[in-house]
Amino acid sequence: MPTALVTGASRGLGAAIARALSPTHDLLLGGRPSAELDALAADLDGASTWPVELTDHEEMEAATEPISELDVLVHNAGVGAIAPVEDTYADEYRAMMEVNFIAVAELTRQLLPALRAARGHVVIINSGAGRDAKPGWSAYAASKFAARAFADSLRAEEPDLRVTTVYPGRIDTDMQRDIVAMEGDDYDGSRFLRVESVAAAVVAAVTASADAHPTEIVLKPTGRG
């Protein structure tokens, strides 16, 4: 079977993407070492943990070196927080950029030979904030706009690869709960996208026929649960 590496796979959307890809792919489950990551690997046939700190580029290089061929790379790991510009300091911008953009760019760079060998597919889970920056979202949106620009450049530079950016609206995840708490609102997950719905969009992109290049997918919640 083809091989897929999914970052941020221990829970939430990453775990849902891994589960959705597991019938058709051998999986490398990226994430910090955890019981959740181990349990997911045990639950999915053909899955192995890939416990790498994505902000440690030397550790990442050592982990990518044995990968000679990779069919699918799904960049799902990310962090999020909101605050007005006057309360958002340089360290917050750096932290957001490091995970949401720089780790994406560096992991892709290190895996380019393996992706080229497989004529592979890079999927970047972006956000609605990567298309439209709202008040209070300057740091997060900046990191996602950067990831969008990276995907566009990669797509133009590597014509033998498929590069898909997925722009989901708000998703029912633990991170979303934290953001809603920052906004001071009550949480109602039925207003948001289900992780399974976003995972299905990733599978649709990855399994698109060879003559088709799904460059962008935009998903918005209907609020109908």
Residue 140 appears among annotated catalytic residues: yes
Query: Which pLDDT belongs to residue 135?
Result: 93
Which of 42-56, 68-82, 130-144, 180-194 comes out lowest in average pLDDT? 180-194
Per-residue pLDDT, averaged over 76-95, amounts to 94
Query: Could you identify the residue written with the tokens 């889970």?
Result: 125
Neighbour order of strands in the sheet with 72-75:
47-50, 26-30, 3-6, 72-75, 121-125, 162-168, 216-219
| CATH numbers and ranges of domains, the chain | 3-219 (3.40.50.720)
Q: What angle do CA 23, 54, 110 make, to 5 degrees?
A: 80
Query: Which pLDDT belongs to residue 180?
Result: 72
User: 170 and 192 in contact (C-beta within 8 Å)?
Assistant: yes
Average pLDDT, the chain: 94
Strand partners, 121: 72, 162
List, for residues 132-167, the tens digit of each pLDDT value. Answer: 999 999 999 999 999 999 999 999 999 999 999 999
List, for residues 167-225, the tens digit of each pLDDT value. Answer: 998 887 777 777 777 777 777 767 788 999 999 999 999 999 999 999 999 999 987 76
Of the listed 89, 140, 167, 187, which one is catalytic? 140
Q: For residues 163 and 155, what is the distance between their CA atoms, to the nearest angstrom?
A: 6
Query: Which pLDDT belongs to residue 174?
Result: 73
Side chain identity at residue 168, one-letter code: P
Query: Could you identify the residue written with the tokens 């891994």?
Result: 18
Query: Could you identify the residue written with the tokens 């450049």?
Result: 153
* Residue 116 clears pLDDT 70, i.e. is over it: yes
The pLDDT > 70 percentage for the chain reads: 99
What pTM does this model have?
Answer: 0.94
List, for residues 20-40, the tens digit of each pLDDT value. Answer: 999 999 999 999 999 999 999
Residue 71 burial (CB count, 10 A): 20
Query: Which pLDDT belongs to residue 123?
Result: 98
Query: Which pLDDT belongs to residue 183?
Result: 73
The token pair at 179 is 């953001």
Query: Which pLDDT belongs to residue 179?
Result: 77
Given pLDDT bands bounded at 50, 70 and 90, which one contains residue 12? very high
Per-residue pLDDT, averaged over 99-104, amounts to 98
User: 4 and 28 in contact (C-beta within 8 Å)?
Assistant: yes
